[in-house]
Chains A and B, each alone.
Chain A
């Protein structure tokens, strides 16, 4: 009897060993042929490892059943369970990046829009963000696609004006960050002693102070209440965490777009209680933005980044001109010609600046229109009082006229692109001019 048991035990041990040997070979073969990802289960929590291993091939079946339920609930308008189902589906297929990306997008875009109430919408946008930030990236830290998807929710859903309650999202994000940092950005020097705040940044928002600091050191001081700063942060992390061989060009693109946005409207004046949200250009971020584009072009070597860079430079020339800084605008124009020599034959710098003054403001995006109006107001304030009062008044009148034209046009079109109040822009311009005076 004992001999029989010994034989069974030895046979079992042999088959375990043989199975392990076969698995090693199979995993290597899968990696070689790009059939599936390499063995990434190491480091995953026990629950995930247990479900993925225990269910084996049936995992796909369970995912299908959960997905069918999700679709049917979404069709019936019973969406409260969807976050739960998305959580389970993604955890059953933790290394399938497209599933994470789909469910985050579904919650942030398709489900949020179903609600009329902005509070509920924001809840679902946050559900999408949390799915990627808290879980997706935990299980796929080397996947730049997921960093880019997370950044996209900040950049597009929160940052842009496609959603009719985008201002509510912006206020909520700004308030959360303001409560966290007690200002637009953290005081990195005091963070070492404030373990509670650091813990919250790391655990809840996954904002790592050392990375935030290195981003600001490289690109310039940023306002973390802006969605574009978060898009930049996640794209930056995607770029630097990507596993070998992964395409990071989309992260590069997002860094460029976010920095361009920071330049165009990264100076924020906010008062959530009064519903005031006035973003205006951050001219000091121009060198950082140029650096972002030039680095990306070097790294990614894709044509569309060069075209995007030229477009940005042409807008930046316009903005600098709007703020009366023609000297730097002309230097920037030369830079643009250096990047795209073909433009030399089309336009001289002086002609380009003249053309800027003749643009139809209603054809410009809101951010550029704000820059133009605030730029003119800044010029009117930057002039020493009493010296050229007549000219200042003329510039101010032009700013008011442009504001009225743009506002009337957007009201006619029932567009959600609304300019801040003229008085608000004027105050911002005055603050900018005062800051210049203090600096001098």
Chain B
């Protein structure tokens, strides 16, 4: 263990000496501090803070992922190129110790940079929430709105239907059931988040409807007539719910003239939001997930650095990084391939074969990168959705332990077998 710690210390020293870390730290400070001054939003403080969280955390993760990949590739490939590795190899060290030590050192650097970025985001969000023109009560209300994080509770599945999915004709009523037994203790309020699509689709004006909420103990918890806009995510405030087993939410479509049917096409289009945590705690969990992602990218860079020379390693690992950041593109290629219409008669057999090859290879990439989609803090933080500790734990297990361990075994094996002392190198 001491040997690994020594290698880690050397990796940290080398990273600091390379000045990459200093440049990245300055870039993080400059970008996060200057972002609130260039963000416009739609004119409301809520939109400004949401955009700030989205952009600042997104940029932080992008810059650190790039740095992690770059430093990972350099940690092995550059040391081989500069003949530092030859010195290390001659010491009584196993190749996995070298690999693990370097990974540990780089992860320490990542942790420091991530902590710096997280602290700055937290400080700036508090700073932006205190506009001079707003009174104290207004500021407090705004802080409560922005800095509260919600747990999303989906409706229970009805038989034969996906949860939340519903089509409600003019004058008709639909009811969703929510299991809130574990969530409502002590919550002062809840929000119903919903979004619907109208039929006819051309109808863009607000659609009138009545929303009702009831539990066994509170049969008249809420009854509110609301004109909601199609295609827009809207929120309905539900008053304090006393501890209960089930919450029923009912929607009656009142839009009869002109007649409009409302669709809630997926489970993401209707959920109950229950206040769960503070922004700071959620950011911390987001940073932990971010840290686990950096562990994966660092390992990826290191494996590329073990297999190739530095320029090739950087190119290969940045290619993987680009794929990781364009998850939608990878998924689309994995599902459909390159051909938009494979059933077309004029498509040649060669094109079919090529298309299948692309699909198979991208299915492999999509499978490999699927944890990155699942453990993405940006899917939670800007929308103020609660990140469970369990998710952070799973992310740690998969991205910080399992993937790096597999890559460590491959990398250490390759490093052991690589003929480092050749004159050409």
Contacts and interface: CB of A to CB of B under 8 A. Distances in A.
A389 interface: no
A83 B43 contact: yes
Given A81-B51, A81-B54, A164-B205, A116 B229 contact: yes
Interface residues of B, number: 23
A80 B40 contact: no
B139 interface: no
A388 to B, nearest CB: 48
A126 B43 CA distance: 9
14 contacts: A77-B231, A78-B233, A79-B42, A80-B50, A81-B54, A83-B42, A83-B43, A84-B41, A84-B51, A113-B204, A116-B227, A116-B229, A124-B42, A126-B43
B51 A80 contact: yes
A123 interface: yes
Given A77-B231, A80-B51, A114 B40 contact: no
Nearest to A124: B42
A126 B42 CA distance: 10
Most buried by A among B40, B46, B54: B40
A79 B205 CA distance: 16
B42 A127 contact: yes
A357 to B, nearest CB: 37
B29 interface: no
Nearest to B383: A78
A334 interface: no
Interface in A155-205: 164
B343 interface: no
Contacts of B195: 77
Contacts of A87: 40
A310 interface: no
B44 interface: yes
Interface string B208-233: 00000000000000000011111111
A114 B232 contact: yes
Interface in B113-136: none
A87 B391 CA distance: 36
A111 to B, nearest CB: 8
Contacts of B51: 80-81, 84
A116 B229 CA distance: 6
A115 interface: yes
Most buried by B among A82, A87, A114: A114
Contacts of A126: 43
B40 A123 contact: no
B39 interface: yes
Q: Which 6 residue pairs are nearest across A and B when measured between Cβ atoms?
A: A80-B47, A116-B206, A77-B232, A77-B231, A123-B43, A116-B227
A116 B46 CA distance: 18
Given A79-B232, A115-B229, A164-B205, 6 more contacts: A83-B42, A83-B43, A113-B204, A114-B230, A114-B231, A123-B42
B127 to A, nearest CB: 19
Contacts of B232: 77, 79, 114-115
Interface string B232-248: 11000000000000000
Interface string A121-136: 0011011000000000
A114 B204 contact: yes
A77 B204 CA distance: 12
Contacts of B50: 80-81
Interface residues of A, number: 20
Contacts of A76: 231, 233
A81 B233 CA distance: 13
A82 B42 contact: yes
Interface of A: 75-84, 87, 113-116, 123-124, 126-127, 164
Nearest to A116: B206
B85 to A, nearest CB: 33
Contact of B228 (A79, A116, A123, A127): A116
Contacts of A80: 41-42, 44, 46-47, 50-51
B213 to A, nearest CB: 20
B229 A83 contact: no
Nearest to A87: B40
A113 B205 contact: yes
B230 to A, nearest CB: 8
A84 to B, nearest CB: 5
Nearest to A86: B40
A152 B226 CA distance: 32
Nearest to A111: B42
Nearest to B233: A77
Most buried by A among B42, B51, B204, B228: B42
A320 to B, nearest CB: 39
A347 B370 CA distance: 79
Given A113-B204, A116-B206, A84 B227 contact: no
A82 to B, nearest CB: 7
A76 B382 CA distance: 15
Interface in B42-86: 42-44, 46-47, 50-51, 54
Nearest to A126: B43
B227 to A, nearest CB: 5
A83 B41 contact: yes
B49 to A, nearest CB: 10
B376 to A, nearest CB: 16
A138 B187 CA distance: 50
Most buried by B among A78, A113, A115, A116: A116
Nearest to B54: A81
A123 B48 CA distance: 14
A391 B229 CA distance: 52
Nearest to B39: A84
A140 to B, nearest CB: 19
Contact of B47 (A77, A81, A113, A116): A81
A112 to B, nearest CB: 10
Interface string B12-52: 00000000000000000000000000011111101100110
A87 B51 CA distance: 14
Contacts of B47: 80-81
Given A78-B233, A114-B231, A116-B229, A83 B204 contact: no
Contacts of B230: 114
B46 to A, nearest CB: 7
